[in-house]
């Protein structure tokens, strides 16, 4: 009987470890699939048409910005403060920005998703030294009442479900957020050749924040599932921290939302309209 129990424990423990490894691998592939859905949205013809319209609109604003910058430089020269060198550098910055603002975000996002899939696939093959059954015994060893153990199990399932569902919906809408951000970025092409780059730099930070979040959320989630094999409670904490990545990135200036960027763009558009009216009045 002792030998049978020993063999049964080893066999069942191996089966549970195998199932757990497959669950981690499936979740990694699932979130990679969700991320690829956000990247594949740019392969549709109607999305390509939107991106192309924004690219042409950016070039039109860039041309208008160059004309306005020339008039501003001429006006500054009359007061002895103009600089052709600075104006030329601003033109180069604007040309690079308008040439890349529809290409780099998509390529960077696709690269982050591909890297995330490769990393999570490799992480799912890492097998810890302890089994899931032993981990459960260690984590719940202080629990002697079955009711308390059931409550703890329900809490763990709720925490995991909350984190997974939140990250799922975040991945589902991230491709659309990136498309909106690219569309908003075209409005900054008027300001960059004139030397006003603060708004465009903030836009670049937002693109980096979106790509960084897409990469880190799934990686931290899979890492938390792996840590659960050694320490259940620490793994749950790591899984819950994955949903806080956008907020943490926003604290360091990598805001992944569209609210702040759209408001700053509206102010930039209003300033552009005011300056254009001023220049048009001066020409008349």
Summarize pLDDT for 205-233 with one digit per residue, the tens. 889 988 888 888 888 887 887 777 777 77
pLDDT over 70 at 249, yes or no: yes
The pTM of the full predicted model, rounded to 2 decimals, is 0.73
In total, how many domains does the chain have? 1
Distance (Å) of CA 247 to CA 238, 242, 250, 260: 15, 10, 5, 14
Q: What percent of the chain has pLDDT over 70?
A: 65
The encoded tokens of residue 82 equal 């103009």
How many residues does this entry show for the chain? 284
Predicted local distance difference test score (pLDDT) of residue 43: 84
Distance CA 47, CA 94 (A): 24
CB-based contact 184:265 (threshold 8 Å)? yes
Structural domain for 176, as ranges:
2-283
Summarize pLDDT for 120-161 with one digit per residue, the tens. 777 766 644 444 444 444 444 444 444 455 666 677 777 777
Indicate left, alpha or beta for 153 from its phi (over 0: left) and psi (-120 to 50: alpha). alpha
Of the candidates 121, 282, 262, which has an alpha carbon nearest to the alpha carbon of residue 180? 262
pLDDT over 50 at 183, yes or no: yes
Q: What percent of the chain has pLDDT over 90?
A: 15
């Amino acid at each position: 009987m002792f030998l049978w129990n020993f063999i049964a424990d080893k066999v069942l423990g191996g089966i549970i470890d195998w199932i757990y490894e497959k669950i981690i691998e499936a979740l990694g592939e699932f979130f990679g699939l969700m991320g690829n859905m956000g990247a594949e949205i740019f392969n549709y013809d109607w999305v390509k048409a939107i991106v192309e319209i924004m690219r042409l609109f950016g070039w039109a604003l860039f041309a208008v910005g160059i004309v306005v910058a020339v008039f501003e430089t001429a006006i500054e020269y009359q007061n002895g403060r103009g600089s052709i060198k600075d104006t030329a550098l601003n033109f180069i910055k604007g040309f690079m920005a308008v040439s890349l603002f529809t290409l780099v975000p998509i390529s960077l996002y696709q690269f982050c998703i591909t890297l995330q899939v490769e990393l999570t696939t490799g992480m799912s093959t890492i097998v810890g030294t302890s089994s899931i059954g032993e981990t459960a015994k260690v984590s719940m060893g202080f629990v002697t009442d079955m009711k308390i153990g059931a409550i703890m199990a329900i809490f763990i399932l709720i925490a995991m479900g909350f984190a997974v569902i939140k990250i799922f919906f975040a991945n589902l809408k991230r491709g659309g957020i990136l498309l909106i951000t690219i569309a908003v970025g075209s409005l900054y092409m008027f300001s960059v050749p004139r030397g006003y780059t603060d708004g465009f730099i903030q836009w670049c930070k937002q693109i980096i924040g979106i790509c960084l979040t897409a990469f880190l959320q799934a990686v931290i989630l899979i890492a938390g599932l792996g840590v659960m094999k050694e320490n259940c409670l620490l793994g749950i904490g790591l899984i819950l921290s994955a949903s806080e990545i956008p907020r943490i990135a926003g604290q360091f200036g990598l805001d992944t939302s569209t609210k702040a960027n759209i408001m700053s763009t509206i102010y930039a558009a209003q300033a552009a309209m005011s300056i254009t009216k001023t220049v048009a009045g001066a020409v008349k």
